[in-house]
Amino acid sequence: MKLYVTDLSPNSRRVLGAVHHLGLEGETEIQKFNLMAGEHQTDEFRAINPNVKVPVLVDGDLTLWEANPIVIYLSDRKGAESFCPSAPRDRIEILRWQSWEVQHFNKALGDIVWETVAKQFFGLGAPDAEKIEAGQQNFRRFAAVLEDQLANQDYVLGNNVTAADFAVGSHSALALHPHSEVPLSEFPKVEAWLHRLEALPAWAKTAPEKPAEAAE
């Protein structure tokens, strides 16, 4: 298998975390792009992914882009039932939380950290206070849902880590950045869960050298 990623992407991190968690390092050739240098902007890569984005997995005649399907594919390839169960009712829970994080939780979180952390890293100007406030309001709405979900368990779907955690927690380095302005202190269960995720060996291996490098 060949996996195209970058060090600057939470979406790449969730896939790399899965590779380590599933013990697939020896079966996976990893191609890292420097997005700042435009290394992905080639005709060759555009032929692999017309979106010209990472991550992308190539396994034989299968070319798969979008992070969450890649994680599911890797899990199924490995038969990792505890990480991404295949039973219909359990699998639909993984898909539910993956969809939720894209549409709601990480969308709101991303709006905040783009303004407070990533924008400066990319040299794109000062933070927009109105956008930060709007992002915080949305984050509070959806973080409350996750806070309730974590009330009596360590991880999103119970007391064992699953693909849902790698999806929902993909922005963990940004959320925990000291300049992020993400109101995590209002949601102690969510904050503790993010720290718990960061302590997992497979996840820790994928941590950006600089927290600001967690930008998509």
Whether the per-residue pLDDT at 210 is higher than 80: the answer is no
Percentage of the chain exceeding pLDDT 90: 84
Whether the per-residue pLDDT at 37 is higher than 80: the answer is no
pLDDT of 159 reads 97
Sheet holding 62-65, edge to edge: 29-33, 2-6, 56-59, 62-65
Mean pLDDT of the 204-215 span: 68
Which among 178, 177, 157 is positioned nearest to 167, based on CA atoms? 157
DSSP string, 133-202: HHHHHHHHHHHHHHHHHTTT-SBTTBSS--HHHHHHTTTHHHHTSTT----GGG-HHHHHHHHHHHHSHH
Q: What global pTM score does this model have?
A: 0.93
Instruction: Judge contact between 93 and 157, C-beta under 8 A.
Output: yes
Higher pLDDT, 38 or 96: 96
The domain spans of the chain are: 2-78, 88-214
Mean pLDDT of the 144-164 span: 98
Alpha-carbon distance 181 to 213, whole Å? 16
Architecture of domain 2-78: 3-Layer(aba) Sandwich (3.40)
Alpha-carbon distance 15 to 3, whole Å? 9
pLDDT of 177 reads 94
Higher pLDDT, 129 or 212: 129
Same CATH fold assignment for domains 2-78 and 88-214: no
Taking all residues of the chain, what is their mean pLDDT, rounded to a whole number? Answer: 93
Q: Does domain 88-214 have CATH number 1.20.1050.10?
A: yes
The answer to which of 73-77, 159-163, 195-199, 208-212 has the lowest mean pLDDT is 208-212
Whose tokens are 């309001």? That residue is 137
pLDDT of 187 reads 98
Which among 39, 73, 41, 75 is positioned nearest to 58, based on CA atoms? 73
215 φ, ψ (degrees, to nearest 5)? -85, 145
Whether the per-residue pLDDT at 121 is higher than 80: the answer is no
Whether the per-residue pLDDT at 10 is higher than 90: the answer is yes
Whose tokens are 């009596």? That residue is 152
Whether the per-residue pLDDT at 211 is higher than 60: the answer is no
Higher pLDDT, 5 or 7: 5
Whose tokens are 């269960």? That residue is 189
Whether the per-residue pLDDT at 116 is higher than 70: the answer is yes
pLDDT of 212 reads 44
Structure tokens given for 134:
């709007």
Mean pLDDT of the 194-199 span: 98
Going by pLDDT thresholds of 50, 70 and 90, the confidence category of residue 7 is confident
